[in-house]
């Protein structure tokens, strides 16, 4: 059984103004991909939203086939799920999937930290990290929660890119996209001050070449983010359902 809120969400109606820009003449697959995934990462397309092929095609001024390709790619990255004969929906990771993401990220991030420290002699490395941290602080100052969460994820992608391991960077991109979804699904709004200047501290440890400290900070950072989530109970919907049935 579906809830009312579910059906409400299954529409692009409200999100249209945010996503629509113009029906450009020629738009590449990558642009469509980027626009959709950024919208998802910034929660303008909340989990569960139906991504109708025709609607997206009209919004982007592209053919349905092209949109379809992009949706297939997003599905492989688990950011959207495809229900056969029913269409594409923004993914709603389960608690179990959320735990798995953090479990995989921990050792991967540690690897990235080690490699970045090895390469820190190049001053551009630390410079770019500091630059990004500043952008994060700006978003935080502006109280732009969407940008904060997206930029938080992108910090880790940037770190992976700077590590020189392109494979790790690609995986980190996938994992941070999923992490954004997870945060929006499970983050307890009561703890907004979560993960504040931790990126800054990690950057400093990297600059100092203090590997043990950097890994410790990174691990605690991930622990912290995960601890902020309400992974004890099920998804919000299931919770609502339970509450409704109890009442």
Name the strand (E) or helix (H) holding 87. Answer: strand 87-90
Alpha-carbon span 200 to 54, nearest angstrom? 43
66 is an interface residue for DNA by CB under 7 A: yes
**Exposure on the CB side of residue 246, measured as CA atoms within 13 A:** 6
Of 65 and 141, CB closest to a copy of itself = 65
Question: Would you state the structure tokens that stand for residue 156, as one six-digit string?
Answer: 């880790």
Name the strand (E) or helix (H) holding 51. Answer: strand 50-51
Residue 38 binds: one of a copy of itself, DNA, none (C-beta under 5 to 8 A by kind): none
Which x/- pattern, by CB under 8 A, does the window 70-99 give for a copy of itself?
A: --xx--x--------------------x--
What is the nearest approach in angstroms of a copy of itself to the Cβ of residue 121?
Answer: 19
Query: Among residues 19, 27, 135, 165, which is the contact residue for a copy of itself, using CB under 8 A?
Result: 165
**Exposure on the CB side of residue 243, measured as CA atoms within 13 A:** 9
Question: Would you state the structure tokens that stand for residue 116, as one six-digit string?
Answer: 């970045």
Which chain residues interact with DNA by CB under 7 A? 7, 50-55, 62-66, 68, 82, 84-88
Query: Rule CB under 8 A: which residues touch a copy of itself?
Result: 69, 72-73, 76, 97, 100-101, 103-104, 106-108, 110-111, 115, 165-168, 171
């Amino acid at each position: 059984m579906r809830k009312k809120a579910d059906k409400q969400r299954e529409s692009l109606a409200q999100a249209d103004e945010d996503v629509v820009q113009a029906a450009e003449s020629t738009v590449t697959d990558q642009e469509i991909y980027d626009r959709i995934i950024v919208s998802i990462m910034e929660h303008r397309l909340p989990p569960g939203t139906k991504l109708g092929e025709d609607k997206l095609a009209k919004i982007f001024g592209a053919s349905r086939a092209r949109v379809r390709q992009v949706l297939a790619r997003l599905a492989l990255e688990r950011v959207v799920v495809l229900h056969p004969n029913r269409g594409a929906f923004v993914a709603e990771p389960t608690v179990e999937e959320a735990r798995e993401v953090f479990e995989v990220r921990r050792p991967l991030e540690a690897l990235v930290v080690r490699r970045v420290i090895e390469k820190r002699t190049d001053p551009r490395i630390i410079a770019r990290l500091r630059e990004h941290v500043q952008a994060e602080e700006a978003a935080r100052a502006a109280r732009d929660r969407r940008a904060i969460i997206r930029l938080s994820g992108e910090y880790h992608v940037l770190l992976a890119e700077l590590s020189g391991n392109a494979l790790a960077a690609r995986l980190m991109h996938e994992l941070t996209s999923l992490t954004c979804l997870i945060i929006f699904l499970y983050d307890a709004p009561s703890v907004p001050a979560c993960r504040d200047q931790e990126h800054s501290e990690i950057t400093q440890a990297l600059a100092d070449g203090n590997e043990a400290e950097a890994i410790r900070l990174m691990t605690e950072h991930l622990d912290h983010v995960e601890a902020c989530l309400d992974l004890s109970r099920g998804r919000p919907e299931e919770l609502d359902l339970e509450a409704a049935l109890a009442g």
